[in-house]
Amino acid sequence: MWRRALLLVLVNAAVFVVLAEAAALGLHYWGSGRLFYTAEPRYEPIPETERGELTGDALHPYFGPTHRPGVRPETNNFGFGSAIAFPFQRANDRQFLVGIFGGSVARYFCDQGMPRLAQTLARDPRYTRREIVPLCFSHEGYKQPQQLLVLAYFLSIGQELDLAINIDGFNEVALGAYNHDRQRDISMPSPIHLDPLINLIDRSTMTPVMVESLASIERDKRRLNTLVARLNRARLASVHFVLERLYLSTRRRYEAEVARFATLPSNPAASSLVLVTPAVKPREGHTLYEDIAAGWAEASVLMHQMLAARGVPYVHVLQPNQYFTRRAFTGQEARVAINDATPFKPPVQAGYPALLRAASALQNKEQFLDATTVFDGEAAPVYQDDCCHYTQRGNDLLADFIGRRILAMAP
């Protein structure tokens, strides 16, 4: 009897394993379009956690938060997301150097939009024989005057450019409002990116709640790396499926805690080594966004003037955003792109009109492009999250829009 019972258990277990493997294979193929057994490992560990470090970021004395050089293969000697070291020296006169400035939207445009823009330019006789070389001076969280400071610094150490493109607007209103809420001047760098670094540098600013949050983040980072190693070693689709669910769940918890940590108030530290300028004047109501817009416009004009003195064309692009648009979202895209609870929605809705009012004075001072309506007639999904970032289709549309303006500019 016990042998028959054992045999029955083994047979049922084998059937379950086969069915589970078949189901996992089908789900993997449906999601990726590839057979699991031929797919390459696609999960990467968090590099700083592998090295036993708390963060892969650093505090640059001129630019503010940046990445630690070499923390990822695409991070260059200044911590920007580029495989090219700066300052880049052109190898020959055919090379056409395009600097991309801005925050994370501009950073992603470097990778996803510049190939399309290069193709557009290459169809024009003026650029047919030129090698378009994108130089990514953009970074997550950057807002004016950081773009201005980055440009000034690299021009001062000999960086040549043939064209500069600045894609911004969202960070200025969203992160400028964050600074205002924390009694800091709106011109200061993003507190979401700056404060965690200040807390690591100056422990006196850490509260017990922040210490607990940081510990939770570190535990999840280690778990993520452990799961990545197991995922990349998995040889059965069913095992991979279970591990992937655990990874995604841990990833969501980790990202939520990182977002919470960024909003936790720090202890006041008047003697801190890192000086963050408080508000230089009181700003309430519409005055806040009018001042943000005025600073945004003035910094851009200064970028134009520095480049014009060197004969370098400058294109300034006000980036599209889902919280300031007439676009009709499908249900699927809306679930990804629209979040009424996000803290970014109110400042975008209040701040973008102020940016456009300030931009009316930019038309005669620089090449300004209002890209806020670029996605309005597109049926395919163009937003990939509920913040501000675009899908490949969104980046292609933005590249086409910028390319048309560049080609229309006087040679």
pLDDT at 146: 97
Of the candidates 372, 362, 314, the residue with the CA atom closest to the CA atom of residue 163:
314
61-193+278-408 under CATH 3.90.1150.10, yes or no: no
- Distance of alpha carbon 368 from alpha carbon 115, whole angstroms: 22
Q: What angle do CA 317, 320, 326 make, to 5 degrees?
A: 135
Q: Give the confidence band of 323 by pLDDT, cuts at 50, 70, 90.
A: very high
Position 393 scores a pLDDT of 96
**Residue 164 and residue 307 in contact, taking contact as beta carbons nearer than 8 Å:** yes
Residue 107 has pLDDT above 90, yes or no: yes
Which tokens is 275 given? Answer: 């000086």
Q: pLDDT band for position 58 (50/70/90)?
A: confident
Q: Supply 252's token pair.
A: 């969501």
User: Averaged over 297-325, what is the pLDDT?
Assistant: 96
Q: Looking at residue 28, what is its pLDDT?
A: 60
pTM summary value: 0.82
Calculate mean pLDDT across residues 99-118: 96
Q: Above pLDDT 90, what percent of the chain?
A: 52
Closest C-alpha to 59, from 259, 194, 220, 238: 194
pLDDT above 80: residue 125: yes
Closest CA to 292 of 169, 126, 374: 169
More confident: 316 or 34: 316
CA proximity to 250, closest of 285, 216, 214, 220: 220
To 5 degrees, how large is the angle CA 265–CA 262–CA 371? Answer: 125
**pLDDT number for residue 27:** 58
Please check whether residue 227 is in contact with residue 253, taking contact to mean a CB–CB distance below 8 angstroms: no
15-24, 188-197, 223-232, 318-327: range with highest mean pLDDT: 318-327
Q: Distance (Å, rounded) from C-alpha 185 to C-alpha 187?
A: 5
Rounded mean pLDDT of 265-270?
Answer: 68
**Residue 321's beta-bridge partner residues?**
324
Tokens 């995922």: give the residue: 231
Which residues make Cβ contacts (< 8 Å) with residue 347, sequence separation at least 6? Answer: 173, 174, 176, 177, 289
Mean pLDDT, all residues of the chain: 86
**E-strand spans in 70-151?**
95-102, 131-136
Q: Closest Cα to residue 348, out of 368, 321, 371?
A: 321
Q: Which pLDDT value is given to residue 40?
A: 64
> Once rounded to an integer, what is the mean pLDDT over residues 274-291?
89
**How do residues 216-254 score in pLDDT, each as one tens digit?**
888 888 888 888 888 787 777 777 778 778 888 888 888
**Given a cut of 80, is residue 120 above it in pLDDT?**
yes
Residue recorded with tokens 């379009």: 33
Backbone angles phi, psi at 125, to 5 degrees: -55, -30
Q: Are 53 and 218 in contact (CB under 8 A)?
A: no
Confidence category of residue 12, pLDDT binned at 50, 70, 90: low
Question: Which residues, in sequence order, are CB contacts of 117 under 8 Å at separation 6+?
Answer: 98, 132, 399, 402, 403, 406
C-alpha dist (Å) from residue 102 to 75, 139, 272, 279, 394: 16, 7, 28, 23, 17
Question: Which pLDDT score, from 0 to 100, does residue 248 have?
Answer: 84
Lowest mean pLDDT, pick from 61-65, 231-235, 356-360: 231-235
Find the helix or strand (DSSP H, E) in which 369 lies.
strand 367-370
Q: Between these two residues, 11 and 140, which has the higher pLDDT value?
A: 140
Mean of pLDDT values over 388-392: 95
Give the model's pLDDT for residue 255.
82
Assigned token pair, 47: 């590099």
Domain ranges for the chain, please list them: 2-38, 61-193+278-408
pLDDT band at 360 (very low <50, low <70, confident <90, very high): confident
pLDDT category at 350 given cuts 50, 70, 90 is: very high
Question: Per-residue pLDDT tens for 23-50?
Answer: 655 656 556 556 655 566 677 777 767 7
